[in-house]
Amino acid sequence: MILIKGGRVYDPLGDTDLPGLLDVLVDGDIIVSVTAPDDDQDRKRHVEQLAERGLAEVIDARDRLIVPGFVNAHYHSYDTLVKGLVEDAPFDLWAMHSQPAFFGPRSKAELRLRTLLGAIECLRQGITTVQDMCTLVPQDEETLDIIASAYREVGIRVVFALALRDLAELDIAPFLPDDLSEAVRRSVTGTPRDPLEDLAFVDSQIRRLPSGGLWHWGVAASGPQRSSDRLLEGVASLSDRYDLPVFTHVYETKAQTAKARRVYASQGGSMIRHMAAVGFLGPRTTMAHGVWIAPDEIDLIARSGARIVHNPLSNMKLKSGVAPIAALKAAGIPLSIGCDNCSCGDCQNMFQGMKMFCLLAGVADPNPTGVHAVHAIEAATRGGAQAVGLGNVVGAIAPGLKADLSLIDLSTIAYLPLNSVARQLVFSETGQGVDTVMVGGRIVMRGGRLTTVDEAAFRAELNDAMPAFRRDFEVIRSTAALAAPALLEANRRVAALDVGLNRFLGDLW
Ligand SMILES: [Zn+2]
């Protein structure tokens, strides 16, 4: 048992400016009580039990804010080593620098290190759960085992889903010029996959490595426009069979939207209505991005019970446009926040995500939007937990939930003076204040130092692995550079199309 004593415990239903001082008692991986100091019989009884068992650890949480561990509801672990290598690239050009298919098989050491790197960055920022929408190259048990083992090693909670796609071409392919060289055509069209084989692999792995401890399964199709109906139906049926959340990317870019207008003509050009028609839209569905959703589709999503993960950093870095956060919130769609790829946001930082969640709601509307700091925190905690299928497991500091939480140092500059914990957590915190992190009752970071990984040794191993990675990345960069003129031409064509709505700002479009 661990007693976290006398911290300000963030409670969305309590005083979010100055939360009360409380004691949090953790037994095993569960929060057993959250009580006022000194006056609670339950806590006294628990502390007596602690003393009897001789297992007591008391963490002094004076000057600490105790917040639920953040849930990074949309993330990909496969390209963490690309951090800082790509800039000023619209979505499809960026994709050529980041997607596992372009990299081919990687060494075992690199698979482990890249998984650890992303997880370490998350933990250091108070993120205790990641939804890793991953792709295995090659898609085999050994590759999966290396990744799962790295997650166990670092001690973060993961909702793991293999992002399947059987249609390989880039989203923007229909808008490319006709006169592509054969080499460029090959690189942008890719190789289709057998959906039944991939679905069978996912099915077998869910049974081989069942959910338990910090490991949870989800299922995923990379995007409706990258999937045959057979694949979407297969993923939905796996979700039904195992009661798992379903993840996918939806309407991230204008090109995807323009493509939807063509390929879903029988559904009025709506990707959302197509998802509903094939049984892929329901209360277990969580859609990443949702930038280019039309108002009637927002209503349809709200009625279906599906959820949206907002990814403000990657949306901005990839020039995807501004998601209609205030409208989604007003429609009652449950929202969460993702930090997405390290190659297109370049950090796993929920503080940046929460701040952008609030600020971006305002750039399209000069009037109050009703999107406040408390809503960003809600999206980063309980909303995220619900989005990844862990709504009854994590997302709050409450008895019966898993002990996933962070202690944030209120003596750091972000909280001086302490006027509002909620607003300063969202608008002032950079991540510097995250001091101690617990996942499933285990302290994985204490006083700013990870307890599960020797970070000096990790840095040395990472440095050793980088020369080979950088060499391979230069090949990828030159393949992408060959395709860049055609991709940028297609991007210009898409920008000029009328898809019935606009998610860019200003007068340029
Ligand atoms: Zn994504």
Region of poorest pLDDT, from 65-79, 360-374, 424-438: 360-374
Which pLDDT does position 353 carry in this prediction? 98
The structural domains of the chain, ordered by start, are 2-67+410-437 (no CATH), 68-387 (3.20.20.140)
Which pLDDT does position 291 carry in this prediction? 97
Q: To which residue do tokens 């020039």 refer?
A: 319
Section 281-292 average pLDDT: 97
**3 state DSSP class of 60:** strand
- Report residue 38's pLDDT band, with 50, 70 and 90 as the boundaries: low
Distance CA 414, CA 426 (A): 10
* Cα 143 to middle of ligand 1, angstroms: 20
Task: Strands of 18-156 (E only): list them.
Answer: 21-27, 30-35, 57-60, 64-68, 70-75, 127-134
* Cα 236 to middle of ligand 1, angstroms: 19
Q: Is the pLDDT of residue 509 over 50?
A: no
Section 41-60 average pLDDT: 72
- Report residue 42's pLDDT band, with 50, 70 and 90 as the boundaries: low
* Cα 132 to middle of ligand 1, angstroms: 9
Distance CA 308, CA 302 (A): 10
Average of per-residue pLDDT values in the chain? 95
Of all residues in the chain, what percent carry a pLDDT higher than 70? Answer: 96
* Cα 382 to middle of ligand 1, angstroms: 20
Q: Is the pLDDT of residue 85 over 70?
A: yes
Distance CA 14, CA 276 (A): 38
* Cα 165 to middle of ligand 1, angstroms: 13
The 10s digit of each residue's pLDDT in 190-213 is 889 999 999 999 999 999 999 999
The answer to whether residues 119 and 147 touch, using CB atoms and an 8 Å cutoff, is: no
Distance CA 31, CA 436 (A): 16
Task: Strands of 148-241 (E only): list them.
Answer: 157-164, 215-217, 219-221
Q: Residue 235 corresponds to which tokens in the numbers above?
A: 């993923």
* Cα 93 to middle of ligand 1, angstroms: 15
Q: Is the pLDDT of residue 56 over 80?
A: no
* Cα 28 to middle of ligand 1, angstroms: 34
Section 242-247 average pLDDT: 98
The identity of residue 145, as a single letter, is D
Section 127-153 average pLDDT: 98
Burial 300-339 (b: 16+ CB within 10 A, else e): bbeebebbbbbbbbbbebbbbbbbbbbbbbebebbbbbbb
The answer to whether residues 441 and 29 touch, using CB atoms and an 8 Å cutoff, is: yes
Q: Is the pLDDT of residue 45 over 90?
A: no
Distance CA 479, CA 186 (A): 11
* Cα 159 to middle of ligand 1, angstroms: 14
Section 175-185 average pLDDT: 93
* Cα 309 to middle of ligand 1, angstroms: 10
Region of poorest pLDDT, from 52-56, 82-86, 244-248, 341-345: 52-56
Within the chain, how many helices (H) and strands (E) appear?
A: 18, 18
The answer to whether residues 227 and 164 touch, using CB atoms and an 8 Å cutoff, is: yes
- The total number of residues shown for the chain amounts to 509
- Report residue 43's pLDDT band, with 50, 70 and 90 as the boundaries: low
* Cα 250 to middle of ligand 1, angstroms: 10
- Indicate the DSSP class of residue 267: G
Which pLDDT does position 483 carry in this prediction? 96
Which pLDDT does position 350 carry in this prediction? 98
* Cα 186 to middle of ligand 1, angstroms: 23
- Report residue 37's pLDDT band, with 50, 70 and 90 as the boundaries: confident
Q: CA 332: distance to chain centroid?
A: 21
Can you give the C-alpha Rg of the chain in angstroms? 23
CA 116, 390, 410, 357 torsion-angle sign: positive
* Cα 22 to middle of ligand 1, angstroms: 38
The identity of residue 485, as a single letter, is P
Which pLDDT does position 365 carry in this prediction? 80
The 10s digit of each residue's pLDDT in 409-421 is 999 999 999 999 9
Distance CA 94, CA 317 (A): 10
Of all residues in the chain, what percent carry a pLDDT higher than 90? Answer: 92
Section 272-280 average pLDDT: 97
Distance CA 303, CA 229 (A): 22
Which pLDDT does position 296 carry in this prediction? 96
Which pLDDT does position 505 carry in this prediction? 86
Q: Is the pLDDT of residue 375 over 50?
A: yes
* Cα 334 to middle of ligand 1, angstroms: 18
* Cα 65 to middle of ligand 1, angstroms: 31
